[in-house]
Amino acid sequence: MEQRITIVTLGVADLKKSTAFFEKLGWKRAVQELDSITFFQCGSIAFALYPLAALAEDIGISVERSGFSGITIAHNGRSKEDVDAILAEAERAGAEIVKPAEDAFWGGYSGYFRDLDGYLWEVAWNPGFALDDAGAVTLPD
């Protein structure tokens, strides 16, 4: 298996509402003609929203979820100010701020929000992870 991730898909309760949430954050949809799934191009990967019940059915598992899943999704900003602005934008779009941004033990600055379907997003600035002009992260050697 090649070391890469091509698509991250979130199961969502209401596809239209979740799509609108990300569009309020300024995200642009890809593949406009599909109404059963939403795709966004995110750098070198695709990000998808798909109805939770349909996703569980496709996998063959129960739709029931409880507690913290142990997964977060991260968006790195270019500065501390960028982190604060993104968290404010997410809150205006309907997200719940779970942890306001603060200086982190690892030398950066981060906070968390919960999206409309309960997924946790970290918004961080990490001085050790360079972002290119397109926003792709380069990890240090």
Q: What is the pLDDT of residue 40?
A: 94
Taking alpha carbons only, the member of 92, 13, 89, 112 closest to residue 54 is: 13
In sequence order, what DSSP letters do the residues of 1-25 get, joined into one string?
--S---EEEEEES-HHHHHHHHHHT
* pTM, 2 dp: 0.84
Question: b/e per residue, 50-72, with b = 16+ CB within 10 A?
Answer: bbbeebeeeeeeeeeeeeeeeee
Instruction: Measure Cα distances from 72 to 16, 41, 58, 133 in Å.
Output: 22, 19, 23, 24
Give the homologous superfamily in CATH for domain 1-59: 2,3-Dihydroxybiphenyl 1,2-Dioxygenase, domain 1 (3.10.180.10)
Domain ranges of the chain: 1-59, 71-141
Q: In this structure, are residues 29 and 39 in contact, taking their beta carbons and an 8 Å threshold?
A: yes
CATH number of 71-141: 3.10.180.10
Tens-binned pLDDT, residue by residue, of the chain (141 aa):
778 888 999 999 999 999 999 999 999 999 877 889 999 999 888 999 999 999 988 888 888 877 777 789 999 999 999 999 999 999 999 999 999 999 999 899 999 999 999 999 999 999 998 889 988 888 787
- 1-59 against 71-141: fold identical: yes
